[in-house]
Amino acid sequence: MRIEIVVFDGFDDLDAFGPHEVLSHATKRLDGWSSTLVAVDTPGPVRSAHGVVVDLDAVLGTPDLVVVPGGGWHSGRGARAEAERGVLPRRLAELAGRGTIVASVCTGAMILAAAGLTAGRPAVTHASALDDLEASGALVRRGERVVDDGTLVTAGGVTSGIDLALHLVAREADPATARAVAGHIEYTPQVALAAA
């Protein structure tokens, strides 16, 4: 399984690095799995919401799974800027049309909403953006950490990205690997780790 975590200026650090930590450990245990951070459309430096600069040499390709972080929804930067720019939402809509599993953490769900991917589907985002997600036509699942609707998997606020990644490892590989990774990073999952 080829996984890409797409980052952009203003992304929330833990939204991307939490899933990346989990998925990187999983790829060491699973044949044929890879996980990498990629830029939206131009290689080069990307600055997180908290000032971490990541120099990326790859851009979003055609992965089996793409993870979209949030950040900056209410400030007008980060996720909101990407949603309004439109490049990432268009690319995500194309990927979803090809069968790519699209996942989001926090207000990354609002980028998925801009792509038209959450309309009429169960989803969740950070508590501060639930009303916006609902207004976009999503069937909001308040109080859920991870909402799995097959090819669309969304997670709530920042730390839920770790649970999202563990859930995806359990679903796409096996629960034992997900539990082993959780143990390695010394994290107690907040969601059940069972195969779909």
Per-residue pLDDT tens digits for 23-76: 999 999 999 999 999 999 999 999 999 999 999 999 999 999 999 999 989 888
Residue 196, domain member (yes or no): no
Residue 194, domain member (yes or no): no
How much is the average pLDDT of 85-89?
97
Domain region containing 74: 2-184
C-alpha–C-alpha distance, residues 175 and 196, integer Å: 10
Q: Amino acid identity, residue 75?
A: S
Per-residue pLDDT tens digits for 122-140: 999 999 999 999 999 999 9
C-alpha–C-alpha distance, residues 40 and 46, integer Å: 10
Q: Are the C-beta atoms of residues 145 and 175 closer than 8 Å to each other?
A: no
Residue 6, domain member (yes or no): yes
Tokens coding 159: 């730390």
How large a percentage of the chain has pLDDT more than 90? 94
- Under the banding of pLDDT at 50, 70 and 90, the label for residue 196 is low
Residue 193, domain member (yes or no): no
C-alpha–C-alpha distance, residues 71 and 12, integer Å: 4
pLDDT of residue 195: 65
- State the CATH number of the domain containing residue 94: 3.40.50.880
Residue 127, domain member (yes or no): yes
Residue 195, domain member (yes or no): no
Tokens 């969601």 -> residue: 191
Q: How many whole angstroms from its chain centre is CA 43? A: 20
Q: Which residues lie below 8 Å from residue 160, measured CB to CB, with a gap of 6+?
A: 105, 106, 145, 146, 190
Q: pTM (2 decimals)? A: 0.97
The answer on pLDDT for 81 being more than 80 is yes
C-alpha–C-alpha distance, residues 88 and 180, integer Å: 33
pLDDT mean across residues, the chain: 96
How much is the average pLDDT of 89-94?
98
Residue 102, domain member (yes or no): yes
Pick from 129, 176, 178, 175: nearest CA to 156: 129
Number of separate domains in the chain: 1
Residue 176, domain member (yes or no): yes
